[in-house]
Structure 1
Amino acid sequence: MFSHYDDIMSVEDVMEALNVGRSKLYELLRSGQIKSWKMKGYRIPKAAVKDFVFSQAQMNLERYSELPD
């Protein structure tokens, strides 16, 4: 899924991978929805980005299953 990215991603990498803007990404980072640490800017583990994507997919599946037939 994110094989061409390094194990530690930059803000720009994650913006590209998730197709989100800088403000939205910083919102996700500050809220803890995507785990990261700051060291001369944010450093985001690729595993944390994958976890976020999978958690969002699961949330959408749960909402879909709650819809009436």
Structure 2
Amino acid sequence: MYNDRTDLITIDELCEILMIGKNTAYSLLKSGAIKSFKINRVWKIPRVSVDEYIKKQAQIN
């Protein structure tokens, strides 16, 4: 699924992985659907959280 396995991804990378817009991405982060945190004003998203979200959504659908 990924070529480069880094621990944290950016909001732009999240949008690319999930093929969603930034507004949807921010909504997922703010609601806690994807576990993340902020350092100053920058969202940091653990890649593991994205994997868990995808698996969870696959089970629901």
Q: What is the TM-score of this pair, normalised by structure 2?
A: 0.90
- In the alignment, residue 4 of structure 2 is paired with which amino acid? H
Who is 1:65 aligned against?
none
Does residue 18 (structure 1) correspond to residue 18 (structure 2)? The answer is yes
Contact 1:9 1:43 in 2 (8 A): yes
The number of residues matched between the two structures is 60
Q: CA RMSD in A?
A: 1.1
- In the alignment, residue 6 of structure 2 is paired with which amino acid? D
- In the alignment, residue 7 of structure 1 is paired with which amino acid? D
Distance, in Å, in 2 between the alignment partners of 1:24 and 1:2 is: 21
SS of aligned partner of 1:42:
strand
After TM superposition, the structure 1 = structure 2 runs for residues 1-69 of structure 1, keeping only pairs within 5 Å, are 1-39=1-39, 40-60=41-61
Q: Which runs of 4+ in 1 moved over 6 A?
A: none
Shift of 1:7: 1.4
Shift of 1:5: 4.6
Q: What is the TM-score of this pair, normalised by structure 1?
A: 0.81
Larger Rg: 1
Identity of aligned residues (%): 35
Unmatched tracts of structure 2, length 5 or more: none
- In the alignment, residue 24 of structure 1 is paired with which amino acid? T
